[in-house]
């Protein structure tokens, strides 16, 4: 399990919140709760953010929380709207508040 946690942490470029532990594959809610009781984030990671207005599909698809298809939807929406803000992302199917909050870690 620790290897899965480490691999996921590396993929994210570090844990920004303790709640991200619940995203690690096969960790039960009980294990996540125990880990959250024992661990804390002392120094949050600093992410190299990319511009939502300018990022290519390829750049967006490298963000841990986005698939290539989702990155393509963002670029299409941005083109349609002639500009875009984070609030525009909620018009994309399956982009809920949590996903948008996670994306904000990597985008500006």
Residue 29 contacts residue 88 (beta carbons within 8 Å) = no
The residue with tokens 């470029």 is: 13
Cβ proximity of 12 and 41 under 8 Å: no
Residue 74's pLDDT is what? 97
Q: Could you give the 3-state DSSP secondary structure of residue 107?
A: strand
**Residue 50, SS3 per DSSP:** strand
* Tens digit of pLDDT at every position of the chain (108 positions): 999 999 999 999 999 999 999 999 999 999 999 999 999 999 999 999 999 999 999 999 999 999 999 999 999 999 999 878 889 999 999 999 999 999 999 999
- Domain residue spans in the chain? 2-38, 57-103
CA neighbor of 44 nearest in space, from 12, 79, 66: 12
Q: Quote the tokens at residue 53.
A: 């207005």
Check the CA dihedral 56-90-14-26 and report its sign.
negative
Q: Can you read off the two tokens belonging to residue 51?
A: 């511009």
Q: How far is the C-alpha of 15 from the C-alpha of 49, rounded, in Å? A: 15
pTM of the predicted structure, to 2 decimals:
0.86
For residue 106, how far is the Cα from the chain centroid? Answer: 7
Predicted confidence at residue 83, as pLDDT, reads: 78
């Amino acid at each position: 399990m620790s290897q899965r946690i480490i691999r996921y942490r590396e993929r994210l470029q570090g844990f920004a919140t303790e709640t991200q532990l619940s995203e690690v594959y096969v960790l039960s809610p009980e294990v996540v709760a125990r880990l959250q009781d024992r661990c804390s984030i002392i120094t949050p990671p600093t992410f190299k953010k990319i511009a939502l207005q300018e990022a290519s599909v390829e750049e967006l698809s490298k963000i841990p929380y986005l698939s290539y298809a989702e990155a393509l939807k963002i670029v299409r929406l941005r083109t349609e709207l002639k500009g875009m803000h984070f609030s525009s992302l909620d018009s994309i199917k399956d982009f809920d508040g949590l996903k948008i909050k996670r994306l904000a870690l990597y985008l500006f």
